[in-house]
Amino acid sequence: MAKIDFALAQEITAVSGEDLGRCIQCGKCSAACPAGSAMDILPSQIIHEIRCGEVEKLQHCQSLWNCMSCYTCAQRCPRELSVAAIIEALRLSVIRQSGANRIKVEELPAEVVARMPQQLIVSALRKYNK
């Protein structure tokens, strides 16, 4: 059984910027998702699990990594919620808790720094260095 963690659920909601209380669990996000057949937990179920505080279960699911961030869920949602933004917040939570994927400026190859847009580098540093 997954651990109930409302604090982490609130943090994920804050990071995503989505108001999960607006979700009516209609399932349109799950039905429209092009990666839905490869997901072990469907988009509408992800919303439900976060609202119930069962985030730990989500942190170990494959759906986080199967989401293509295509935002079809947001286009189909009658309440204009974006499950993709919520999944991205969950991914960040997993990455930050594991301590993985830290970016160190001094370790970036010079050719990467020269070729990548500065906005991308700054965005990656903000995302992975909190």
Greater confidence (55 vs 127) lies with: 55
Among residues of the chain, what percentage have pLDDT more than 90? Answer: 35
pLDDT the model gives residue 107: 75
> CB–CB of 73/29 below 8 Å?
yes
Q: Is the pLDDT of residue 99 over 70?
A: no
DSSP secondary structure of 72-104: HHHHH-TT---HHHHHHHHHHHHHHHHT-S---
End-to-end CA distance of the chain: 29
pLDDT at 93: 83
In this structure, whether the domain defined by 6-99 belongs to CATH 1.10.1060.10 is answered with yes
pLDDT digits 0-9 by tens, 30-80: 999 999 998 999 999 999 999 998 888 888 898 888 888 889 999 999 999
**What rounded mean pLDDT belongs to the chain?**
84
What mean pLDDT do residues 83-94 have?
A: 88
Give me the residue spans of the domains in the chain.
Answer: 6-99, 102-130
